[in-house]
Amino acid sequence: MTTPDSHAQIQVYQQDPADLKAWIKTQALELGFADCVIAKPDAQAELARLQEYLDRGYHGDMKFLEDNLEKRANPALLVPGTRSIICVRMDYLVEAPEPRYIPYAPNSAIIARYARGRDYHKIMRGRLKTLATKIRAKVGDFESRPFADSAPIFEKSLAESAGMGWTGKHTLLIHKKSGSFFVLGELFTSLDLPFDAPASKHCGSCTACIDICPTQAIVEPYMLDARRCIAYLTIEYKGVIPEDLRRGIGNRVFGCDDCQLICPWNSFAQVTSVEDFHPRHSLDQVSLLDLWQWDEATFLSATEGSPMRRTGYQSFMRNIAIGMGNAPFDEQIVRALHQQRAHHDEIVQVHIDWALQEQLAKSS
């Protein structure tokens, strides 16, 4: 909490807030963040777009997006007293990106790159807390609260308003010098810091992400129908996946990186310095059949501390069944689908039956 003494310290120090801002950025980079910008706590401009997205029903079952619109637009309603937001970025690629999209071997299981290692939320919040502690040691007490995808916040919009990048036509944030393979975090503060300026946009006439999307989820530039997006379908959505989207899902069993992989700006994507993003359990080169053998106990132990926990065992098996249906005909796959059918719930069984039909149709 702020004390009269510490308040005085802040006042003294903030006679040169530009210096304090530069110092904070240096500390953030030293803590391992790849970038740090200071945003004004105001995301009103994003509200109309979200409202249109909600009106069109593109959020599917993500009903939480309908709530707390005022808090999203005005971060000071979420954390009273917020005067500036320190936005940070952590890159998550563990190796240099391919220069262009290269399809995977058909029987491999593709897991989105951010999810192959440990969940980043804990390390993000931990580092933000450390940053707050360092600032406190320099300027005295002030109010602060760290977030990592954990509250109704327009994360991208705030970071964009302060030059962390621009929103691409695939709706993700891109930076000219570092691409889009990164996650965001925020430290809400009561400090009066000078705000950074927005970056210019550089999608131009490119439509590569729209054209490559396997399920045509980017329905128009800058507008994504989550109900068609493989990331939503394989992670957030728990029901029966519409049949007309199953072939497009291919062998992507948790998330999808295709619109990022094709983006020319990702030839500038940076490799991470965060050990937690490194793949565990060979999740960067695992086969569909290997994952299909996982029972629930194996799933729970292999996904401990991993973002993959989020989807749950049965939904994960549903996704793998779709991948197996999309694989070239293979007697081993047909046998494995039959063998495991009785061990799964009705929703998974719907996808197993579809996968068997798809396999048998390719057998002749």
Q: Is 91 a catalytic residue?
A: no
> H/E element holding 284?
none
Question: Looking at 262, 286, 317, 320, which residue binds ligand SF4 (CB under 6 A)?
Answer: 262
Q: Which is nearer to ligand SF4, 46 or 258 (CB)?
A: 258
Using CB under 6 A as the binding rule, whether residue 231 contacts ligand SF4 is answered as yes
Helix (H, G, I), strand (E, B) or coil at 153: coil
- What φ, ψ does residue 58 adopt, rounded to 5°? -70, -15
Cβ proximity to ligand SF4: between 4 and 103 the closer is 103
Could you tell me how far CA 63 lies from the centroid of its own chain? Answer: 18
Task: Tell me the closest approach of the beta carbon of residue 246 to ligand SF4, in angstroms.
Answer: 13
Q: How many CB atoms lie within 10 A of CB 50?
A: 18
Decide if residue 269 touches ligand SF4 (CB under 6 A): no
Determine how many CB atoms are found less than 10 A away from the CB of residue 345. 12
State in angstroms the smallest separation of the CB of 249 from ligand SF4.
8
Decide if residue 229 touches ligand SF4 (CB under 6 A): yes
Q: At what angle do helices 4-13 and 121-139 cross, to 10 degrees?
A: 90
Provide, rounded to whole angstroms, the least separation between the CB of residue 97 and ligand SF4: 13
- Among 313, 335, 311, 308, CA closest to 324: 335
Selected from 20, 39, 203, 269, the binder of ligand SF4 by CB under 6 A is: 203
Q: Which of 42, 141, 149, 284 is catalytic?
A: 149
Q: Is 259 in the site for ligand SF4 (CB under 6 A)?
A: yes
- Among the listed residues 2, 207, 285, 332, the single contact to ligand SF4 using CB under 6 A: 207
Check: CB of residue 210 under 8 Å from CB of residue 182: no
Interaction of residue 235 with ligand SF4, rule CB under 6 A: no
Q: Would you say 108 and 331 are in contact if contact means Cβ atoms under 8 Å apart?
A: no
Q: Smallest gap, in angstroms, from Cβ of residue 168 to ligand SF4?
A: 3
**Residue 332 lies near ligand SF4 (rule: CB under 6 A):** no
CB 283 within 8 A of CB 113: no
The span from the CA of 202 to the CA of 147, in Å, is 28
Give catalytic residues, as residue numbers. Answer: 149
Query: Binding residues for ligand SF4, per CB under 6 A?
Result: 168-170, 174, 203, 206-209, 213-215, 217-218, 224, 229-231, 256, 258-259, 262-265
